[in-house]
Structure 1
Amino acid sequence: MKQGDLVVRKSYGGDVLFRVATVQEETAILKGTDYRLLADAPVVDLSVVGDPESSAAARQARIKAAESTMKMQTQREQQIMERELQQRAQSESQPYFEVPGKVLHLDGDSNYMRKSMQLYTQMRVPAHGIYVHESQMADLVYRLLPQIKPDIVVITGHDGVLKNRLDDDLHNLASYKNSQNFVNAVRIARQYEKSKDSLVVVAGACQSHYEALLQNGANFASSPGRVLIHALDPVYVAIKASYTSIKDTINLADVIHGTISGIDGVGGIETLGKFRVGLPKPKTTLTGVKPTV
């Protein structure tokens, strides 16, 4: 057993595929490959997986991810079609242009960061992504928000409920591996921008303290049912916010059920979208000048 090995836990029936982060004596620290779960397990309880596709849990997670991505692309195509029909109905000769909301994405996992940025690029969402340990996120949020000036900030990584917590003590932040770090970062974001419609905050990971994240200012958070959430669930929420018109509130049922984890994995509050339309479309982009929108 060594760092980087793909493994499953025998005692859990191989329910989640993990990558070994570190091995400390007879215990391995594990990070989910598809779910944002941080766990530890005795080395003797682990089975090495040679081929990720041989893991039924991993295959199922990827099927669900593909379905969610397809749904999101379909909705985006419908949005474009409706906009074009509206433009023709209004006899507008000038082509419009679109300004989706800009995302700042902080991630405690470098592999998830890469996958997240690929999806943002695929969906043409302007995004700035940074891999940073969960314990350093609050400091980075403090420094980056004034620089990046995003419309949406995603604060995510790995989390989990501690095994040695007091019985049923799920209301205590000390019972979670990283929820306190996420809460600290959310607080800093809300000190920077108090309006939940001016800055949309998406926070949390697997089994995170959902209530604490919302109470401290998150618009969307995980996990109401203390369940595992897929690595891309926070990204789906951010993209939905990015492409929902500033005239409309984000459809809560639509965005939550569009995630892989569903209602037990992600929840939130009514929030205005960040998508804008402009007219007429600029003919050129000035060389060396970065857009301000």
Structure 2
Amino acid sequence: MDIKIGDIVARKSYECDLLFRVIDIKVRNDGEKEVILHGEDVRLIADAPFDDLIIIDEQEQQMRQKKESELIEQSYKLLRQDYHLLKQKSEYRATGGYQTEEDFFQIPGRVLHMDGDPVYLRKCLSMYERIGVPVHGIYCEEKEMPERVGELIDRIRPDILVITGHDSYSKSKGKATDLKAYRHSRYFVQTVKEARKRIPHLDQLVIFAGACQSYFESLIRAGANFASSPARVNIHALDPVYIVSRISFTPFIETVHVWDVLRNTLTGEKGLGGIETKGVLRTGMPFRLIEKENQEGRYDGR
């Protein structure tokens, strides 16, 4: 079987439960080939022997993608319902209980999304755009994130920071409480700490950090508001988008309760968790002023 970089494969030893993208092929010291894999829909990095893999044909890929799209659409609709409820509440407050007819405007929270996978980053940016969240996406390998995050925060000035990519936990390398047993969690932890050196307050910069099977407790202790993965399970590629979108559209005077965020994700509480956090949306009026400033190119949402 001629497997090459870029192929979509599955692992026979796991009953072909997940699809993976081949990102590298290495030859071990014993001469056997080892394939490095990135999850196609979940943020998992894995390695597998060459003979454990099977190439997934186009028809099977399309069938699985259809099921995946249905799940994504269901989650998106739930998120939009929440958004409309939040907007109605903001409109009620801004108009004094509908006593005035002034048009109001809203400034959702700006997101800086650092991702260790360029394919996943494109998927996330597409969903951010669909939802209407202002975002600046940066592809960056996980090990480089701690060095880059400070400069990016200073330059982009986000309200919300996403630190994600690929990760995995290996029992053979240590207990679940041993940071060395995780492939990339230590880089995520270091990046969160560097971000908190810039902005220590949990409500001035909201942070989501982690990927599949990441060391949840360590990320929360480092200063993340939300993280993965409490039960060391896989998380979906778009789960960070659903979490931060809810925060982006929640008014700053309201608290975002953890379950209100998790219930619209594709993974749920086994893969995601966090702490109560204030929203970052700002509402103002009159809308005509913002419209005029936008036309003149002088208003940037700050």
Q: Is residue 138 of structure 2 the alignment partner of residue 136 of structure 1?
A: no
Q: Which position in structure 1 is the counterpart of 2:168?
A: 160
Q: How many angstroms does 1:90 deviate by?
A: 3.3
Q: How many angstroms does 1:72 deviate by?
A: 0.5
Could you tell me the percent identity over the aligned residues? 40
- Which residue of the other structure, out of 242, 247, 250, is the alignment partner of 2:248? 242
Alpha-carbon distance in 2 for matches of 1:279, 1:158? 42
Q: Which position in structure 1 is the counterpart of 2:275?
A: 269
Q: Which position in structure 2 is the counterpart of 1:289?
A: 298
Q: How many angstroms does 1:19 deviate by?
A: 0.3
Alpha-carbon distance in 2 for matches of 1:56, 1:27? 28
1:51-86 CA-to-partner distances (Å, cap 9, x unmatched) read 265477655443322211111012212333444455
Could you tell me whether the CA contact under 8 Å between 2:162 and 2:209 is conserved in 1? yes
Q: Is residue 77 of structure 2 the alignment partner of residue 70 of structure 1?
A: yes
Alpha-carbon distance in 2 for matches of 1:233, 1:9? 24
Pairing of 1:27-106 with structure 2 (within 5 A)? 27-51=34-58, 53-54=60-61, 59-84=66-91, 87=95, 89-106=97-114
Q: Which position in structure 2 is the counterpart of 1:120?
A: 128
Q: Which position in structure 2 is the counterpart of 1:225?
A: 231
Q: Which position in structure 1 is the counterpart of 2:177?
A: 171
The one-letter code of the counterpart of 1:203 is A
Could you tell me whether the CA contact under 8 Å between 1:15 and 1:57 is conserved in 2? no
The one-letter code of the counterpart of 1:77 is H
Q: Which position in structure 1 is the counterpart of 2:117?
A: 109
Could you tell me whether the CA contact under 8 Å between 2:90 and 2:283 is conserved in 1? no
Could you tell me whether the CA contact under 8 Å between 2:229 and 2:271 is conserved in 1? yes
Q: TM-score under structure 1 normalisation?
A: 0.94
Could you tell me whether the CA contact under 8 Å between 2:107 and 2:301 is conserved in 1? no
Alpha-carbon distance in 2 for matches of 1:98, 1:133? 34
The one-letter code of the counterpart of 2:9 is V
1:241-275 CA-to-partner distances (Å, cap 9, x unmatched) read 10111011112111112111101100000110001
Q: Which position in structure 2 is the counterpart of 1:16?
A: 18
CA change 1:53–1:95 in 2 (3 A) is farther
Aligned residue for 1:31, secondary structure, equals: strand
The one-letter code of the counterpart of 1:149 is R
Q: TM-score under structure 2 normalisation?
A: 0.91
Q: How many angstroms does 1:138 deviate by?
A: 1.0
Structure 1 unaligned residues grouped into runs of 5+: none
The one-letter code of the counterpart of 1:36 is R
Q: Is residue 219 of structure 2 the alignment partner of residue 210 of structure 1?
A: no
The one-letter code of the counterpart of 1:137 is M
The one-letter code of the counterpart of 1:157 is G
Alpha-carbon distance in 2 for matches of 1:85, 1:272? 19
Alpha-carbon distance in 1 for matches of 2:295, 2:62? 50
Q: How much is the aligned-residue C-alpha RMSD, in angstroms?
A: 1.7
Could you tell me whether the CA contact under 8 Å between 2:256 and 2:279 is conserved in 1? yes
Structure 2 unaligned residues grouped into runs of 5+: 28-32
Q: Which moved more, 1:255-264 or 1:29-38?
A: 255-264
CA change 1:251–1:292 in 2 (3 A) is same
The one-letter code of the counterpart of 1:264 is K
Could you tell me whether the CA contact under 8 Å between 1:34 and 1:58 is conserved in 2? no
Could you tell me whether the CA contact under 8 Å between 1:108 and 1:132 is conserved in 2? yes
